[in-house]
Structure 1
């Protein structure tokens, strides 16, 4: 019997937990703790622990497929490449779009970016996860100089107070949630702003049940209360920041009473939150890229500058990520070039007939709704590269089988900027290949062999380290230890655990306050009386994991018991959820753990207000 452990990185959320892949007789059979990895110290949530299940799922794509009429037929790689090359050559660059993935490795995204720019001659490249990351990343970059989390996850354990807003770490990023539990055990005060009584909210010393979309008002209210009490860090503000007065003036209208009215909370709660946060040193902010608008991120950055909570352990703005390589995909350039289109803009352009061909690598964009599916149907040519026959792949002209994270080498960069290895543990299923290899071979089929003659993933990473300044000095050899390296790499020796300990990455070395004003969004009322709080949806990997589907077999809409009673809806009943964009049927979870007037459903719905009614034939 052949038995081995192969150290790697979990393919799910942006925590980047270290895992040991257990391989028996050439098959990936389980996960074993990797205690030395500093991110999770051997602990793993259900997703990482059961990751071998989707890798071994019998629905995996095993060979290239070419659509003939309405049906797919198995094809050789040579024939698939020929089909793709001919189709891409027939389309002008600005009529082609490329969609990368925040789950692909740095090497995949780097090669795809170069393929788009140098072979397809298009600036239309974007990664799907960026649509919920872009504003948050820009907010951090504008404030501090880098569009990345300021601190390490382990730092949370040193905080004396933690404000959590727009995030539910204990359920969405569980090993980040563990650090918050450790902080509480060390005496930290936890403040959670959420209309739901989540697992994270149950941990809170102060749970603020603010209405969805009022986070900016709340944070501005906390800032205003701190300044009014004279508790701002005047010395830090003077030495390390600029434009404080502008931010102060913009936040001034958010008095405790004004925030209470907007957010549906008590004014005393705002004052209490300000007192807790101002009294704690250090204090940290935790939010999520998907839930954090640019204004919210800038407001949170303002709060941390007001209190001097940047550049030290237990402080900073900690931006949690939903996908394993959301940070790395941006780092290596899988973003629109000059004049290039974002993913939503590509979809609109496809619907309008301006984008004629699309190359989608590792994303199921059709799951976002009927408008995306309709737009894809208008394309002349669609190539999809993935592990499974997703809704997007079903619409493709050519489908190519990707190797999973356990079947390839590469790197991913987690939310705390830690560049870590993924290592090949088993052979790919069927004739599946790593994404970078497939992309390179398509390039060769289109006459660009010289620029894509990569020997392996390590050779690609060497190119990344030459071109991406933050990665300079990092090599595969220096990533062998479980601690890996956090960028910027300080010559590739130790990395940087905490940003801005000396100065900010701005031109003048100072952080920039922003004049963030609270702007009320779409309010619930009239035809759509229920506000929506975002719920993390399950994606392709989770739905192909048997253990996860047993626990969460279907998406649910969580509704307050009083709202449900008024609508005549029973727990477990089928209901119709309607917004301006359309309707969907779901199962009702009637609960006391959500604020009256608010419902929670998967974030992919992307709506602010809905109405709910009993489904035809439902209870």
Structure 2
């Protein structure tokens, strides 16, 4: 982004354009006010979110927990103990060093999860609440160009399943939480914080067969956002962050400075780069992973490696290889390909029998955002046996 600004391609057609904040971060061209609701109802005198001391910039900008620090806090109990967790579709295998996350869940006094299936994570829960799939619920959907729609469920909810928002709303009412908007429910929220400003209603949007235009979209003028002033302390595009400069105690560099993304493992002992961040289209996260038709597209955990690396290792299609890091090893099949560069090993995460994130490091996290280095772990590879 800094290069875009330096080369004059920020806030200009054909370059980087700023998008107004819209519902669920969809670039549809009109603003919504869900963040107003969050700040209006933020609990008074609440403890700092999980991860706030460790990732102060993330906390300053987002005011929400950084879940990557949750297993550490559960196990260590600092800066305060966590003894119960309510989760919506949690997938512990998405966490780096997922074995540590499972240990954390096992140590809790109480764990509630919602999901479509009894996933590996849900098996650790004391109570599992059945969630609706997208076929069984309707929701507000904004689209590019100022369009919007309220989808209709294709089928009635199966069994006792309910949408996540209905589960949260019913719990809020049962617990009599001090949040009247939450207790009123999802449709009321969408009406007040999204649609009222544009003169539309949820009932109108439910009746249409396709998305309809609800908001006018202003034509972009080059450099108009820069002239108006950006949402930074200086009002300018900052190559050096004024926020970080004002907080030297964070220990962060205010300039975008290159740092080697790889972990500090010995490159001679671990000569390959391991990545687990890519997503297999037929099994995103924990969803639909064990549906037989979906599983048949890649039934076995299989690592993609460059054909030249495979020749050097003496392995061919379907052979079994052992991938190891400082945290352990797993055995998977190999797929020689030209779609990955030499020196790289790509393995889709989520397979319980060969969990990619057993190999990743829970402390190899970006100090600015707190997000894990799923694509820059040193590893070794050998043919099985």
Question: The TM-score by the shorter chain falls in which range?
Answer: 0.5 to 0.7
Question: Residue 270 of structure 2 contacts residue 378 of structure 2 at CA under 8 Å; is this kept in 1?
Answer: yes
User: Which residue of the partner structure matches residue 518 of structure 1?
Assistant: 258
Is 1:424 matched with 2:153?
yes
CA deviations on 1:456-483 (whole Å, 9 max, x unpaired) are 53212124339xxxx9547534695855
Q: 1:463 to 1:331 in 2, by over 3 A?
A: closer
Counterparts of 1:166-177 in structure 2 under 5 Å? none
Aligned length: 302
Matched, 1:565 2:289: no
1:447-502: per-residue Cα shift (whole Å, max 9, x none)? 34982675653212124339xxxx954753469585557xxxxxx52246869862
Structure 2: unaligned runs, 5 residues or longer: 28-32, 51-65, 241-254, 350-355, 358-373
Q: Give 1:612 deviation, angstroms.
A: 1.2
Match of 2:57 in 1: none
Matches within 5 A, 1:204-603: 301-316=1-16, 332=35, 333=38, 339-341=48-50, 342-353=66-77, 354-368=81-95, 369-412=98-141, 421-448=150-177, 451=180, 457-465=186-194, 472-473=197-198, 475-476=201-202, 477=204, 482=210, 493-495=215-217, 502-504=224-226, 505-506=230-231, 509-514=235-240, 515-522=255-262, 525-533=267-275, 534-537=277-280, 538-602=284-348
User: Structure 2 length normalisation: TM-score?
Assistant: 0.66
In structure 1, what is the Cα distance between the partners aligned to 2:7 and 2:338?
Answer: 35
- In structure 2, C-alpha distance between the alignment counterparts of 1:357 and 1:500, rounded to whole Å: 50
Match in the other structure for 2:377 = 608
Cα gap change, 1:375 to 1:414, in 2 (>3 Å): farther
**2: CA distance, partners of 1:418 / 1:307:** 33
In the alignment, the residues of structure 2 paired with residue 503 and residue 445 of structure 1 have an alpha-carbon distance, to the nearest angstrom, of: 46
Name structure 1 gaps, 5 residues minimum.
1-300, 486-491
Compute the RMSD of aligned alpha carbons: 3.9
Are 2:88 and 2:113, in contact at CA under 8 Å, matched by a contact in 1?
A: yes
**Cα displacement (A) at 1:340:** 0.6
Match of 2:361 in 1: none
**In the alignment, is the contact (CA less than 8 A) between 2:146 and 2:217 conserved in 1?**
no
Larger helix fraction of residues: 1
- TM-score, with length taken from structure 1: 0.43
Paired with 1:458 and 1:511, the residues of 2 have a C-alpha distance of: 37
How far does residue 611 in structure 1 lie from its aligned partner after superposition? 0.8
Give the superposition deviation at 1:593: 3.3
Deviations 1:324-358 (A, max 9, x none): 95669x96559998721121222211122421000
Query: 1:395-421: CA deviations, max 9, x gaps?
Result: 000110111112112225679997654
**Structure-2 change in CA distance of 1:448 and 1:484 (3 Å):** same
